[in-house]
Amino acid sequence: MNQPSYTQGRQDKPLLAMTIGQAFDQTVARFAAREALVVRHQQLRYSWAELAAAVDLHARAFMALGLKTGDRLGIWAPNCAQWCIAQFASAKAGIILVNINPAYRTSELEYALKQSGCQWLVCAGAFKSSDYHGMIAELLPEIAHQAPGQFNCERLPDLRGVISLAAEPPIGFLPWDGLAEHAQRVSQAEFDARQQGLQFDQAVNIQYTSGTTGFPKGATLSHYNILNNGYMVGESLGLTEQDRLVIPVPLYHCFGMVMGNLGCMTHGSTMIYPNDAFDPALTLQAVADERATALYGVPTMFIAVLDQPQRADYDLSSLRTGIMAGATCPIEVMRRVINELHMSEVQIAYGMTETSPVSMQTSADDELELRVTSVGRTQPQLESKIIDEHGCVVARGQIGELCTRGYSVMLGYWGNPAATAEAIDQAGWMHTGDLASMDDHGYVCIAGRNKDMIIRGGENIYPRELEEFFFTHPAVADVQVIGIPCDRYGEEIVAWIKFHPGHSATTEELQAWCKNRIAHFKTPRYFRFVEEFPMTVTGKIQKFRMREISIEELKRN
């Protein structure tokens, strides 16, 4: 019998049996004078000792506002120093931080606040096209007539007040800069007692997953979940107090707040935010100016950095490592990152919000071919298996659904036991919904989302395979492949193509290029040439939107 597609990660790295606050205090004690946080767009720098002072002050302020252990504090803001402070302060005060997507509008904001039962909300004044103050005033017209902390709102009965990060917020908002005076009402002894009463298995974070249908679900994560995941990611990268990590990915997502902030915190490394949102030129500038050793990003970010016209003007020689994750990582992009960005030890990480997030990761000593063709092996202290539609483990080399079990699996979806039961089976396995295969050495290759597989004329076609193929075309900078309904074959293939600057190709040229290189049934019938793809704030491609757009366009033509 062939070896089954099941592996355990290494067991020689013990898990951290402590709260985020305890781990934070240990790091501060070890590296007090070293640089902890650099926020370039705010021109702010903190040593670990200075960051600790700000964190403890705001933790006491949150307690003074009446937030008890297990209460929820929402945060609706782009990357900034206050986001980082709120993350650690809420954890030290036993408060559950609810991450709210900066791109949310009023109906989505209302849903997240109501579903999680947020008692307080921290918000920015504005970001890009979003007027946060205006949207809150629209959602809560009472805010101008009621004192912060004493809200009585019919639409959001749990909400007691809104804290604004703006310098001069409208009437009814509590200014972030005014929190210090509230902190004085909570003694050090009360703060210490709060921290001592916390357990590492308690919930510390709720993150809303962006589903393609229905309402978002709030993945509820514990101290143990995300502290250890950030720690294990950092261990794989070989982070130390000498490392400086540029974090251009959003903090509201696991990539930023867990792999970024917690990965740095557990190793004493420096967190560097180049801007409030991703900008390729500012990211390059941050790497060069700060002599960064590591850089994070999703594939679309790395593509934008690589194609930045002035990239050669920046000294990137300090880089050694980083992570590409959040979406399928194209092989050609990975090769360019290694060769052109000096990131010889760059790693691929795979996971999902519900698993804190990383469950698979390559390592620095993996052969290049494995680092560009797989998502690595099972992370330490976790298990992985690949199953068929009947729940049976498939043989090595066969494609099936990837499942994860271990410390990283979420506590559940907040207030949604039915959805939790659908995602996590009775044996504790998280079903990812991703199609994958495992080789004889335990390396896993992702074939795509279960729902993204294309069935054309009875043939199973995996978009990932076609995307990797098109990346070898010299004009193609990025590509996404989808299936759309077809009466004759069931589905037809559509390839959305983004070209390198100064390059182009026609549908006929690309179809001719496919001939004799791939099977005829894999050749896309339709091509769409674009400047960008529909995507979430975190850089995840929205293939469901691409399907909707493609179907609508073909109806009109």
| Rounded Cα gap, residues 298 and 313, in angstroms | 23
Mean pLDDT, range 439-444, rounded to an integer = 96
Q: Find the range with the poorest average confidence among 204-213, 234-243, 300-309, 394-403.
A: 204-213
pLDDT category, 458, cuts 50, 70, 90?
low
404 SS3 class: strand
The 3-state secondary structure of 76-141, one letter per residue: ECCCCHHHHHHHHHHHHCCCEEEECCCCCCHHHHHHHHHHHCCCEEEECCEECCEEHHHHHHHHCH
| 160 contacts 143 by C-beta, under 8 angstroms | no
CATH, residue 164: 3.40.50.12780
- Of the two residues 149 and 214, the one the predictor is more confident about is 149
Q: Which of 217, 249, 278 represents a domain boundary (last residue)?
A: 217
Instruction: Indicate if the pLDDT at residue 328 is higher than 70.
Output: no
pLDDT at 1: 54
Question: Mean pLDDT in the chain?
Answer: 93
| 426 found inside a domain | no
| 515 found inside a domain | yes
Mean pLDDT, range 179-207, rounded to an integer = 97
Mean pLDDT, range 309-332, rounded to an integer = 90
Q: Which amino acid is at 234?
A: G
pLDDT at 451: 74
pLDDT at 29: 98
pLDDT at 331: 81
Mean pLDDT, range 13-32, rounded to an integer = 98
Other Cβ atoms closer than 10 A to 149: 14
Instruction: Indicate if the pLDDT at residue 455 is higher than 80.
Output: no
pLDDT at 213: 47
| 43 found inside a domain | no
| Rounded Cα gap, residues 257 and 83, in angstroms | 9
Domain count within the chain:
2
| 370 found inside a domain | no
pLDDT at 492: 92
Ranked by mean pLDDT, the top range of 133-147, 261-275, 477-491 is 261-275
| 443 found inside a domain | no
Q: Which amino acid is at 385?
A: K
Q: Find the range with the poorest average confidence among 100-114, 185-199, 217-231.
A: 100-114
- Of the two residues 129 and 284, the one the predictor is more confident about is 284
Instruction: Indicate if the pLDDT at residue 327 is higher than 70.
Output: no
Which structural domain, as residue segments, surrounds residue 473? 453-556
| 169 contacts 125 by C-beta, under 8 angstroms | yes
29 SS3 class: helix
Instruction: Indicate if the pLDDT at residue 539 is higher than 50.
Output: yes
Computed from CA positions of residues 241, 243, 244, 247, in that sequence, does the dihedral angle turn out positive or negative? negative
CATH, residue 457: 3.30.300.30
| 270 found inside a domain | no
| 550 found inside a domain | yes
pLDDT category, 468, cuts 50, 70, 90?
confident
| 110 found inside a domain | yes
What letter does residue 51 receive in the DSSP assignment?
Answer: H
Mean pLDDT, range 436-442, rounded to an integer = 96
pLDDT at 105: 85
pLDDT category, 486, cuts 50, 70, 90?
confident
pLDDT at 298: 86
pLDDT above 90 as % of the chain? 80
Mean pLDDT, range 379-400, rounded to an integer = 96
pLDDT at 454: 86
Q: Find the range with the poorest average confidence among 257-261, 339-343, 490-494, 509-513.
A: 490-494
pLDDT category, 212, cuts 50, 70, 90?
very low
H or E, element range at 403: strand 400-406
DSSP class per residue in 419-456? HHHHHB-TTS-EEEEEEEEE-TTS-EEEEEEGGG-EEE
pLDDT category, 448, cuts 50, 70, 90?
confident
Q: Look at residues 277, 284, 286 and name the one whose alpha carbon lies nearest to residue 256.
A: 277
Q: Which of 217, 245, 276 represents a domain boundary (last residue)?
A: 217
